[in-house]
Amino acid sequence: MSVAENIKLIENEITGKGVTLVAVSKTKPVDALMQAYNAGFKRFGENYVQELADKYEQMPKDIEWHFIGHLQSNKVKYIAPFVSLIHSVDSFKLLQEINKQAAKYNRVINCLLQIYIAEEDTKSGMTEAECSEILDSEALKTLLNVNITGLMGMSTFTDDEQQVRKEFRKLKSFQASLLSAHPYLQTISMGMSGDYPIAIEEGSTMIRVGSRIFGNRIYPA
């Protein structure tokens, strides 16, 4: 099956469910992304700043680029001119830097706050308490060049579907608890190639799918 056919299959699967597909293209060559682009798909997610910046330079400029990996403050400047959505904001300090860099280009950058929901140390994110503190802070109101649109979470890497479901449900429940005070938190980015059907059942509005579209990742030796 081609890249375009894989995307079509997933899009047919999620039609009518209020879910947006992000094709995770990290480590994939530009020609693989162009197969998707030429079939009409223009929403890609990348994990590495340099790779994202390189692909942005090489590809058409009507693409919606999502940054989904761990983002260091000193790297924000490289993606600030063009990134559409940053999924992985895990601190107020990072939010401040995104705001600072976005202001240089007279842009407002959409962001998701990444919440730690997994039961493993390799995943990052803020606690629910830290998230609430940011959302309720006066300092947030001074950041005019960022727009928080929702939450993101990554489940534990496990075959235990019940655990994954529990973690997604926890994030959905937290989002629901915030909506009355913060009605703009509409996006929940959760679910990847191995678990997006569960994520959708538990309330995800955005899934990040890589290997189901492009095949297994190729890492340099």
Position 221 in a domain: no
> Is residue 188 helix, strand or coil?
strand
Give per-residue pLDDT as tens, 154-176. 999 999 999 999 999 999 999 99
Position 219 in a domain: no
> Is the entire prediction scored with pTM above 0.85?
yes
Overall domain count for the chain? 1
* Contact yes or no for 36/23 (Cβ under 8 A): yes
| Nearest CA among 100, 151, 154, 144 for reference residue 124 | 154
The mean pLDDT of 52-63, rounded to a whole number, is 98
- Alpha helices by DSSP H, listed for 18-139, are 30-38, 49-58, 76-79, 92-104, 128-135
Percent of the chain with pLDDT over 90: 93
CATH of the domain at 164: 3.20.20.10
Give per-residue pLDDT as tens, 59-113. 999 999 999 999 999 999 999 999 999 999 999 999 999 999 999 999 999 999 9
State residue 216's pLDDT score: 80
- Tell me how far the alpha carbon of residue 170 is from its chain's centroid: 18
Position 220 in a domain: no
Q: In terms of residue numbers, what domain contains 116?
A: 3-214
State residue 146's pLDDT score: 98
Residue 141 has pLDDT above 80, yes or no: yes
Position 174 in a domain: yes
What are the CA-CA distances from residue 213 to residues 137, 201, 205 (Å)? 40, 20, 18
CA–CA distance, 203 with 176 (Å, rounded to integer): 10
State residue 220's pLDDT score: 55
* Contact yes or no for 113/70 (Cβ under 8 A): no
Give per-residue pLDDT as tens, 113-131. 999 998 877 668 999 999 9
Position 116 in a domain: yes
Confidence of residue 219 (pLDDT cuts 50, 70, 90): low
